[in-house]
Amino acid sequence: MVNIEKHWYDVVVIGAGGAGLRAAIEARLAGKKVAIISKSLFGKAHTVMAEGGAAAAMGNVNSNDNWMVHFRDTMRGGKFLNNYRMAELHAKEAPDRIWELETYGALFDRTKDGKISQRNFGGHEYPRLAHVGDRTGLELIRTLQQKIVSLQQEDKAKYGDYQARLRVFAECTITELLLDSSTGEKRIAGAFGYYRESGEFVLFEAPAVVLATGGVGRSYKVTSNSWEYTGDGHALALRAGAKLINMEFLQFHPTGMVWPPSVRGILVTESVRGDGGVLKNTEGKRFMFDYVPDVFRKQYAETPEEGDRWYTDPDNNRRPPELLPRDEVARAINSEVKAGRGTKAGGVYLDIASRRPAAEILKKLPSMYHQFKELADVDITSQPMEVGPTCHYVMGGVEVDPDSAATPGVLGLYAAGEVSGGMHGSNRLGGNSLSDLLVFGKRAGEYAAAYTDGLGKRPKVDDTQVAAAVEEALTPLARDGGENPYTLQSDLQDVMGTLVGIIRRKGELEESLNRLAELRERIRKVGAAGGRRYNPGWHLALDLRNMLVVSECTAKAALEREESRGGHTREDFPKMSSKWRQVNLICSLTPDGDVDLTHQPIPTMTPDLLALFEKSELAKYMTEEELS
Ligand code: FAD
């Protein structure tokens, strides 16, 4: 009989990034007993890596900015496939969430007159990203953790125990959600997992779970994502009976490091371009002017001179095309490299050295300076950086109700931050993730708490589900001579990188599904040598089934969507199709665990929001029928 440590909570938050911490704070403020569970060390979530800033239309640097402009930019960036209600709530509530962070103790960079400073980023009409140098995520996480500590101090004063109502379980991986189906509906009853260090099992009984587990980038070799982004939350949701929406949309950030090979994929913040950096090919040409698509033609400069003037006089000039949304810039770099105008390592140049004084670069981009100096021996104040696309962010994710972050179909299950889908449509604008996780993290915590208030009796954990979770976890350790988890991960990354990458084709996508089916069989036979005490091979063996099912969703949806839009480019269907814009692709699991893909009509935008756009712009995206 294995030992299982047991805990009892009102709300369990899986993930200690910005979304998870913000949700936990809100649920605790609503008086709930809350657990925060984190696969990595506390404080080392993805959010801490965020560099450029959090987008919020505060209008501090340009007073023309407001939520309506932010909403428009977000919809344009997502190519009008965004869940409009999420985009609306996000644009309206982001400024309050930023100001609130300052009341928790954050200190953003300031304008000369003492307001929170805001910087330019791709796709944002006005300077909009509240930032702390190029280490914004660090300040965000530091502040949220500080708020958590202050709440724990309150609890100590009231109950004599710091952890009475808010406790962090770090280095603890959740492998399964537990359900109570006794009433005929699926209701969350808890979550099961293990401590990474000891390998001991742990069970959280709770009627509400907030998924805040971040992204899926580790299914690709070249990625800005760190080791823990294996799509766990996506897979947990699927297995519990929730659905994933639009998983074909993956963001390949245009600027990752490409050299040396050991650091390939590490992010080079968009702030470099926001602060004046330009992209050049090996012929020295500033090539982005050749890649402005028709839908954006009116908003972007036609000449380098106009683009350069925009930095100091944005009211009378249009922005440079280096600041197009990320999908456009990534595709442009890809085309330049393919046309033979890229570097040997397969990148292009990002030059800020010839455009800004060294002192300014050091002040605004200190982390980038150190990153390139230490990892590539490149001094960005005097030399250009070598960059290329890297898998960065997943726009698809767990389907949620826009207002409450609740998953339809599984009572008590909520999702916020990168793990949720819909908000960013087919492409996320830079800076919109940090604001998204604050807005919807808060909402998820609030609604999860309210849900527990309305419960008659607590759902009951089903012992057979716990026994199955234990068996699933132990099986790789019991298997002698099983498949090596590291080989399997590498093979999976090969399939995704070569067949479901930045440019996609029908034949390759079909092949990817065959290869993923083979991998599914091999992953069933994965083995891990050694015991349960800190055993990374075993941890990876357990993560693999999550990576696999999420990759299957991405490949299946990518094959189905016969158009190119945002983070999904089909060479065989190179244009956007207004018919496909009306469709969300939904993935769920059949009882046998296979991925089932269905079409869902996208919700119709309300007239007041439609009125924020000119009809001529809407005509670029919508069918005649919709417009009438
Ligand atoms: P994360 O911060 O990713 O946290 C996920 C948490 O879930 C972690 O604690 C992890 O350990 C935990 N977890 C995962 N699986 C499990 C499991 N099975 N059990 C228990 N815990 C689990 N966005 C912006 O808006 N602006 C920027 O400037 C910006 N810069 C970026 C720079 C870099 C280098 C990167 C990589 C991303 C950047 N992003 C930026 C994107 C943004 O940082 C992320 O999208 C965002 O932080 C995701 O936050 P989250 O709270 O959803 O999840």
Please state the rounded mean pLDDT for residues 423-447: 97
pLDDT at 530 over 90: yes
Q: To test ligand 1's pocket by mutation, which of 101, 252, 370, 433 has the most ligand atoms within 8 angstroms of CB?
A: 433
Predicted local confidence at residue 495, as pLDDT? 97
Q: DSSP letters of 333-358?
A: HHHHHHTT-S-TTS-EEEE-TTTS-H
Q: Is 17 in the pocket of ligand 1 (CB under 6 A)?
A: yes
User: Which phi and psi angles does 487 have, rounded to 5°?
Assistant: -65, -40
Helix axes 485-499, 506-524, angle to 10 degrees: 170
Query: What does the domain layout of the chain look like in residue ranges?
Result: 1-249+395-628, 253-390
- Smallest CA-to-CA distance from 581 within 615, 542, 627, 613 is with 627
Predicted local confidence at residue 326, as pLDDT? 85
Predicted local confidence at residue 625, as pLDDT? 86
Q: Which residue(s) pair with 390 in the sheet?
A: 253
pLDDT at 257 over 90: yes
pLDDT band at residue 627 using 50, 70 and 90 as cut-offs: confident
pLDDT band at residue 25 using 50, 70 and 90 as cut-offs: very high
CATH of domain 1-249+395-628: 3.50.50.60
Q: To test ligand 1's pocket by mutation, which of 390, 434, 539, 549 has the most ligand atoms within 8 angstroms of CB?
A: 434
Sequence-ordered list of residues with C-beta below 8 angstroms from that of 244, at least 6 positions apart, any chain: 234, 237, 238, 396, 397, 398, 399, 421, 550, 553, 586, 587, 588
Q: Which amino acid is at 400?
A: V
Q: Are 73 and 125 a contacting pair, CB within 8 Å? A: yes
Sequence-ordered list of residues with C-beta below 8 angstroms from that of 41, at least 6 positions apart, any chain: 170, 171
Choose between 626 and 53: higher pLDDT.
53
Tell me whether strands 208-211 and 201-205 are parallel, antiparallel or unpaired. Answer: unpaired
Residue with CA at minimum distance from ligand 1 atom 32: 50
Grouping H, G, I as helix, E, B as strand and the rest as coil, residue 599 is strand
Q: Is 25 exposed, middle or buried (0-12, 13-18, 19+ CB in 10 A)?
A: buried
Interatomic CA distance for residues 175 and 545, integer angstroms: 10
476's tokens: 């790789």
Tens digit of pLDDT for each residue in 451-481?
999 898 899 999 999 999 999 999 999 998 8
- Smallest CA-to-CA distance from 515 within 535, 497, 537 is with 497
537 is an annotated ligand-binding site residue: no
Predicted local confidence at residue 327, as pLDDT? 86
Predicted local confidence at residue 270, as pLDDT? 87
Interatomic CA distance for residues 612 and 579, integer angstroms: 22
Please state the rounded mean pLDDT for residues 228-249: 97
Tens digit of pLDDT for each residue in 142-167?
999 999 999 999 999 999 999 999 99
Q: Are 88 and 106 a contacting pair, CB within 8 Å? A: no
Please state the rounded mean pLDDT for residues 601-612: 95
280-317 burial, b if ≥16 CB within 10 A, otherwise e? bbeeeebbbbebbbeebeebbbeeeebbebbbeebeeb
Predicted local confidence at residue 73, as pLDDT? 97
Predicted local confidence at residue 325, as pLDDT? 83
Q: Is 49 in the pocket of ligand 1 (CB under 6 A)?
A: yes
Q: Is 212 in the pocket of ligand 1 (CB under 6 A)?
A: yes
E strands present in 419-578:
503-504, 569-570
pLDDT at 1 over 80: no
Predicted local confidence at residue 271, as pLDDT? 87
pLDDT at 602 over 80: yes
38 is an annotated ligand-binding site residue: yes
Tell me whether strands 201-205 and 4-8 are parallel, antiparallel or unpaired. Answer: parallel
Predicted local confidence at residue 395, as pLDDT? 97
Task: Give 228 Cα–ligand 1 centroid separation in angstroms.
Answer: 10
Query: What number of residues does the chain have?
Result: 628
Predicted local confidence at residue 181, as pLDDT? 86
Q: Is 132 in the pocket of ligand 1 (CB under 6 A)?
A: no
Task: Give 512 Cα–ligand 1 centroid separation in angstroms.
Answer: 27
Please state the rounded mean pLDDT for residues 126-135: 93
Q: Catalogue the active-site residues.
A: 326
Q: Is 271 in the pocket of ligand 1 (CB under 6 A)?
A: no
pLDDT at 529 over 90: yes
Task: Give 283 Cα–ligand 1 centroid separation in angstroms.
Answer: 37
Interatomic CA distance for residues 558 and 577, integer angstroms: 15
Task: Give 141 Cα–ligand 1 centroid separation in angstroms.
Answer: 11
Sequence-ordered list of residues with C-beta below 8 angstroms from that of 100, at least 6 positions apart, any chain: none
Atom of ligand 1 nearest to the CA of 225: 36
Grouping H, G, I as helix, E, B as strand and the rest as coil, residue 200 is coil
Please state the rounded mean pLDDT for residues 544-550: 98
Q: Are 214 and 417 a contacting pair, CB within 8 Å? A: yes
54-74 burial, b if ≥16 CB within 10 A, otherwise e? bbbbbbbbbeebebebbbbbb
Q: Is 256 in the pocket of ligand 1 (CB under 6 A)?
A: no
452 is an annotated ligand-binding site residue: no
Interatomic CA distance for residues 26 and 11, integer angstroms: 11
Q: Is 39 in the pocket of ligand 1 (CB under 6 A)?
A: yes
46 is an annotated ligand-binding site residue: yes
Atom of ligand 1 nearest to the CA of 131: 28
Instruction: Return mean pLDDT, the chain.
Output: 95
Task: Give 234 Cα–ligand 1 centroid separation in angstroms.
Answer: 14
Tens digit of pLDDT for each residue in 321-349?
999 988 889 999 999 998 999 999 999 99
Atom of ligand 1 nearest to the CA of 175: 18
State the Cα angle at 98 between 94 and 102, rounded to 5°: 165
Neighbours of 160 (CB within 10 A): 8
Tens digit of pLDDT for each residue in 31-81?
999 999 999 999 889 999 998 899 999 999 999 999 999 999 999 999 999
Return the CATH fold of 253-390. Flavocytochrome C3; Chain A, domain 1 (3.90.700)
Tens digit of pLDDT for each residue in 361-382?
999 899 899 999 999 999 999 9
Sequence-ordered list of residues with C-beta below 8 angstroms from that of 154, at least 6 positions apart, any chain: none
Q: To test ligand 1's pocket by mutation, which of 44, 46, 390 has the most ligand atoms within 8 angstroms of CB?
A: 46
Q: Is 53 in the pocket of ligand 1 (CB under 6 A)?
A: yes
Predicted local confidence at residue 581, as pLDDT? 96
Least reliable range by pLDDT among 311-315, 348-352, 389-393, 598-602: 311-315
Predicted local confidence at residue 157, as pLDDT? 98
Q: Is 421 in the pocket of ligand 1 (CB under 6 A)?
A: no
Residue with CA at minimum distance from ligand 1 atom 14: 213
Predicted local confidence at residue 628, as pLDDT? 81
Predicted local confidence at residue 66, as pLDDT? 98
Predicted local confidence at residue 51, as pLDDT? 85
pLDDT at 295 over 90: no
Q: Which amino acid is at 27?
A: A
Task: Give 224 Cα–ligand 1 centroid separation in angstroms.
Answer: 11
pLDDT band at residue 251 using 50, 70 and 90 as cut-offs: very high
434 is an annotated ligand-binding site residue: yes
